[in-house]
Amino acid sequence: MNTHTPVFPRRRVAAGVVIQNDLGEVLLVKPHYRDGWLIPGGLVEEGEYPLAACVREVKEELGIDIVPIRLLCLDYVGVYGNAPEGVMFIFDGGKLCQSKIASIALQESELTDARFMSMGNSLDRVSEVLRARLEMSYFALRDSSIYYLEQGCLMLKQPMPGT
């Protein structure tokens, strides 16, 4: 009788979202616990689906409800500092109307600021690690594709069905 129980690897999984305003600017958030800006989102909790985590994180961080439209980018990342390897999802959060933008309420325990920035300016404000996946997400918004990255490097581009 085999009594060996397999040990499964632990990976971090995160889900973020690209949210735009009517001008096509992208919402970035400034956490108080690190330098630089991020897109809204965060870690997926145990037993939680990435899409549900994305919706939850936006509600917690910004106080608004969103309905992500589709997956833009998936990035497999290796060990980084003391963080284990992981999978990072970026979803399209659509465009917010002015009334929804006005209702944004920052989670003060985590964020110090949130603002819409041009796509170019946003790429200058985020870390190098996030820059590649955010840039691919911008391409995905324009060409209706899904981008698969490994360590920020493009590996596959998958057109959306019907495009």
Q: Which pLDDT tens digit goes with each residue over 63-74?
A: 999 999 999 999
- For the domain bounded by 12-158, which CATH number is listed? 3.90.79.10
Share of the chain above pLDDT 90, in %: 82
- Among 43, 39, 18, 17, smallest CA distance to 28 is for 39
Q: 154 exposed, middle or buried (CB, 10 Å; 0-12, 13-18, 19+)?
A: middle
What is the mean predicted confidence (pLDDT) over 141-159? 94
Cross-strand bridge partners of residue 88:
14, 75
Q: Where are the domains of the chain?
A: 12-158
Residue scoring higher pLDDT (11 or 41): 41
Give the phi and the psi of residue 5 in degrees, each rounded to 5.
-105, 125
CA atoms within 13 A on the CB side of 99: 0
| Predicted local distance difference test score (pLDDT) of residue 163 | 62
Is the pLDDT at 4 greater than 80, yes or no? Answer: no
